[in-house]
């Protein structure tokens, strides 16, 4: 199983290296290719602009039948990222009941970057941040910018 | 050796095939992202490799693309058209890494692979694995054959390799390019006019090196060659002095044992056992001489004292002699007095009888027993 997983991961890594996503840099950290370090650049016109966010992408041995696990190593003020030392992001296609084996890593990364531009408060892990985002957008933007300045250097 | 070449014993793993051209994305499996293998289609009309879909079904019985539920009966072999399209894809021979340059349609690759000359097959004779084309050309190739040049026995497959190094086979001299048997080349190199040699005076620092035939010309103008005897003599003198220096250093070490240990070790290593023995012996002798010298001084002192005693003795003896003389003098005087006394006592008689007195000499027997004894 992991042999074919490795083959597909290698293929996907080659595709992403050939056509890099804007604002996404990838460094595989293990020779087995099952752990990737990712650096997201905060998108323009978002409170995360100018920040550099480190993420860990872990691919299960049963990939692509099981979804990858994505987590923020850099602290971020975001309704869809847990505000703890895990920084986990679990929504949409990353949920195992919504994951499809035909889904690619590049789609996962696009989704993560899309969430920086437009958080999804309906599917939040941090309800207080989601409330802030919905009801007091100015304050949300201010705190998110502050966190970006403090942590995402 | 059997008549038919040995066959691959296992089926070809199509998943390991390499595609020289980027495969059409539409013919790739959404799961493994490789061109479809043994394609099957779901009831929702998505197509996958058979193995990939069964893997996905083991995790979740839904379509890996649209997640609609599917059961075993909802999967069919994909349309022939799809099978033909992926079967026509060009792949590299699985033995490409062994040197095969063939690339064939995927539905033909197994047939090619089974007869590919670059496939490794087991030799029926000796059990070793060899390329199929080697097997076809010379059989196993592990039999011993005789080299046509040096008569050495080598394995048939190794003959070409052996001829690269065979000592009897001619090879060109790397300098003059004339051909010689390999085992003579070394000898030839020592006389080859084109060989690169150093100046004979390289030991004294001449940096020249060039072809042997130019060496004579160089030697005429080489300052090092002229100076070589002088330089060598200097070198030998330096060596002599160094040895001497080592000896002296060793002597200093014996005289001044406080010198640092490392220095001692350094000098000691340069001396032979015999020299050390001689020096130790010498040290003993030196100690003996010093002791004897001390004894001698003692003796001299004693002799001086003896001489003093002797002269004193002489003086005493002289005094004794003088005293003896004085005593004799006194004795004669006393004797004289004694006679006088006797004469006075006998003055009434003998004086009247004529006045002749018997003269007594010292030492005469005294009948009267009144002799003075000293």
Residue B354 is predicted with a pLDDT of 45
Residue B333 is predicted with a pLDDT of 94
Pick from A7, A98, A100: which is nearest to B32 by CB? A7
Residue B172 is predicted with a pLDDT of 81
At residue A32 the predicted structure's pLDDT band, cuts being 50, 70 and 90, is: confident
Q: What is the CATH number of domain B14-136?
A: 3.30.40.10
Architecture per CATH, domain A2-151, reads as Roll (3.10)
* CB proximity list for B8: less than 8 A, separation 6 or greater: B113, B114, B119, B121
Mean pLDDT of chain A: 88
User: At A20, is the secondary structure helix, strand, or coil?
Assistant: coil
What are φ and ψ of residue B47, in 5° steps?
-115, 135
Pick from A8, A64, A100: which is nearest to B67 by CB? A100
Task: Indicate the pairing of strand A69-72 with strand A52-58.
Answer: antiparallel
Residue A53 is predicted with a pLDDT of 93
pLDDT > 50? residue B85: yes
The residue ranking higher by pLDDT, B75 or B11, is: B75
pLDDT > 50? residue B1: no
pLDDT > 70? residue B262: no
Average pLDDT over residues B232-250: 92
The residue ranking higher by pLDDT, A123 or B323, is: B323
B45 touching chain A per CB within 8 A:
no
| Rounded-to-integer distance, Cα B142 and Cα B165, Å | 19
Residue B359 is predicted with a pLDDT of 52
**Per-domain residue ranges of chain B:** 14-136, 172-197, 199-276
| Rounded-to-integer distance, Cα B8 and Cα A128, Å | 66
The pLDDT tens digits for B169-185 are 777 888 888 888 877 88
Instruction: Determine the Cα angle at B281 with ends B279 and B287, to 5°.
Output: 105
At residue B125 the predicted structure's pLDDT band, cuts being 50, 70 and 90, is: low
At residue A1 the predicted structure's pLDDT band, cuts being 50, 70 and 90, is: very low
For B:59-98, CB contacts with A below 8 A are 59-60, 63-67
Shortest distance between the Cα of A5 and any Cα of chain B, in A, equals: 8
Interface test with B, best of A2, A5, A100, A103 (most B CBs within 10 A): A100
What are φ and ψ of residue B113, in 5° steps?
-60, -35
* CB proximity list for B176: less than 8 A, separation 6 or greater: B192, B193, B194, B195
**Per-domain residue ranges of chain A:** 2-151
The pLDDT tens digits for B130-173 are 778 777 766 666 667 778 777 777 777 677 788 777 877 777 88
Give the rounded percent of residues in chain A with a pLDDT score beyond 70.
98
Average pLDDT over residues A50-72: 91
Average pLDDT over residues A16-36: 84
At residue B264 the predicted structure's pLDDT band, cuts being 50, 70 and 90, is: low
> Of the given ranges (A54-68, B136-150, B213-227, B237-251), which has the lowest mean pLDDT?
B136-150
Taking contacts as CB-CB distances below 8 angstroms, the residues of chain B near A101 are 30-31, 52, 56, 64
| Rounded-to-integer distance, Cα A119 and Cα A47, Å | 11
Shortest distance between the Cα of A9 and any Cα of chain B, in A, equals: 9
Shortest distance between the Cα of B58 and any Cα of chain A, in A, equals: 9
């Amino acid at each position: 199983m992991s042999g074919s997983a490795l083959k597909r991961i290698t293929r996907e890594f080659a595709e992403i290296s050939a056509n890099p996503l804007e604002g996404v840099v990838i460094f595989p950290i293990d020779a087995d290719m099952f752990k990737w370090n990712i650096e997201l650049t905060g998108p323009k016109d978002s409170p995360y602009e100018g920040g550099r966010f480190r993420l860990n992408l872990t691919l299960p041995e049963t990939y692509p039948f099981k979804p990858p696990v994505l987590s923020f190593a850099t602290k971020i003020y975001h309704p869809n990222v847990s505000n703890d030392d895990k920084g986990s992001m679990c929504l949409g296609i990353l949920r195992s009941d919504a994951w499809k084996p035909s889904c690619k890593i590049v789609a996962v990364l696009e989704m993560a970057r899309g969430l920086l531009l437009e958080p999804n408060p309906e599917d939040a892990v941090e309800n207080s941040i989601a409330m802030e985002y919905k009801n007091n957008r100015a304050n949300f933007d201010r705190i998110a910018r502050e966190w970006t300045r403090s942590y995402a250097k | 050796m059997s008549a038919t070449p040995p066959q691959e014993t296992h089926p070809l793993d199509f998943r390991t095939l390499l595609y020289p051209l980027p495969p059409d994305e539409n013919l790739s499996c959404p799961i493994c992202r490789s061109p479809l293998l043994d394609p099957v289609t779901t009831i929702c009309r998505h197509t996958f490799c058979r193995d990939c879909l069964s893997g996905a079904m083991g995790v979740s019985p839904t379509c890996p693309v649209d997640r609609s539920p599917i059961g075993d009966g909802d999967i069919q072999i994909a349309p022939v058209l799809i099978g033909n399209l992926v079967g026509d894809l060009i792949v590299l021979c699985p033995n490409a890494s062994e040197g095969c340059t063939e690339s064939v349609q995927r539905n033909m690759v197994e047939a090619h692979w089974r007869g590919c000359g670059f496939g490794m097959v087991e030799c029926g004779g000796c059990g070793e694995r060899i390329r199929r084309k080697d097997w076809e050309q010379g059989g196993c190739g592990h039999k011993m054959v005789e080299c046509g040049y040096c008569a050495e026995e080598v394995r048939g497959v190794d003959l070409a390799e052996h001829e690269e190094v065979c000592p009897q086979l001619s090879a060109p001299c790397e300098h003059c390019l004339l051909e010689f048997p390999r085992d003579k080349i070394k000898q030839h190199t020592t006389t080859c006019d084109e060989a690169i040699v150093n100046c004979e005076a390289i030991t004294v620092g001449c940096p020249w090196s060039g072809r042997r035939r130019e060496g004579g010309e160089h030697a005429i103008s080489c300052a090092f060659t002229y100076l070589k005897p002088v330089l060598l003599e200097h070198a030998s003198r330096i060596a002599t002095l160094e040895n001497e220096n080592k000896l002296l250093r060793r002597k200093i070490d014996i005289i001044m044992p406080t010198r640092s240990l490392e220095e001692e070790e350094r000098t000691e290593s340069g001396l032979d056992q015999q020299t050390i023995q001689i020096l130790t012996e010498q040290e003993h002798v030196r100690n003996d001489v010093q002791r004897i010298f001390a004894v001698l001084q003692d003796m001299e002192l004693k002799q001086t004292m003896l001489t003093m005693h002797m002269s004193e003795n002489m003086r005493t003896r002289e005094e004794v002699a003088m005293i003896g003389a004085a005593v004799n003098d006194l004795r004669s005087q006393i004797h004289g007095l004694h006679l006088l006394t006797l004469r006075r006592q006998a003055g009434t008689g003998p004086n009247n009888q004529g006045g002749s007195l018997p003269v007594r000499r010292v030492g005469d027997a005294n009948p009267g027993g009144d002799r003075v004894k000293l």
